Amino acid sequence: MKTLEFVNGDRMPVLGLGTWNAAAGDVYQAVKEAIRCGYRHIDCALIYGNEPEIGQALTEAFTEGLAHREQMWITSKLWNSYHAPADVQSALNQTLADLQLDYLDLYLMHWPVAIRQGRLMPESAQDIIPPNALPVSATWQAMESLVDNGSCKHIGVSNFSVVKLKALLDSARLTPEMNQIELHPYLQHPGMLDFCNRHGIHLTAYAPLGSPDRPARLRAPDDSVLLEDPVITAIADRLAAAPAQILISWAIRRGWAVIPKSVTPHRIKQNFDACEIELSDQDILEIDKLNRNRRYFAGGLWTIDGSPYTTASLWDD
């Protein structure tokens, strides 16, 4: 398994199991199956609502000898309603309790948006806190203290634009070591890739398969299905592989971590086996040409009527 190396020498497996939208009852079995297959990287978040079930699976896997804690890389994320500096440690403590862990390997600020404490989702624009009232820099300072006290080994962000990363770097004591973003052949972020390469920030691709099971509210009538793209399927046919394997292999070849989600045993194994697929330079060039700047997760929750955010200001487009 290829890895991404952090400044202190820690290594994160490039392939992880995503757990967003994994239903109760399914995610427990998916995590156990993934560890049996060889996965050593699990991506979680408080807002997914399934960390207690993941914690049960991890604890049983450790007890049964499927893996040791030190072999696993566990990522989770700080939800928007815990951005107040006084709430950051308690949010991580809850995640650690749910996951039945003593520390996280990586903790990410899930969005560069704060909402009112006690809300999981905004019920109105009044629940969204203007960025000048609770700046990302204040939340980040509290996250830095999590590394200081050993609650987590590394910290990073998610859904940050280049503009927001630059602003954070101006005030941060600890450089964010990861930006987890939507990243796939239809949304390739060339400017982001260049910026992160220059500043030593790793990237994790979420929705690497085009999120085929995303909710209907996130679909457009004219959406193309990434897994059915003719370029992807032609390469898959030539290599006797599944289209999902081609997309995973492409992301790994480009130097990113990738966290496809599945709760189906044969697909979990199939995704893991994608690490063995070798794409040619020509394959990479053909896939690189597919960029459409198509974002499936535009952050509409944060741009409701009356919000201090618009789509343009959220992504700095």
Q: What does the longest C-alpha to C-alpha distance in the chain come to?
A: 55
Q: How buried is 312 (Cβ within 10 angstroms: 0-12 exposed, 13-18 middle, 19+ buried)?
A: exposed
Active site includes 206?
A: no
Nearest to 256 by CA among 178, 166, 311: 178
The catalytically annotated residue of 48, 82, 107, 206 is: 48
Distance (Å, whole) CA 109 – CA 279: 33
Q: Which residues are catalytic?
A: 48
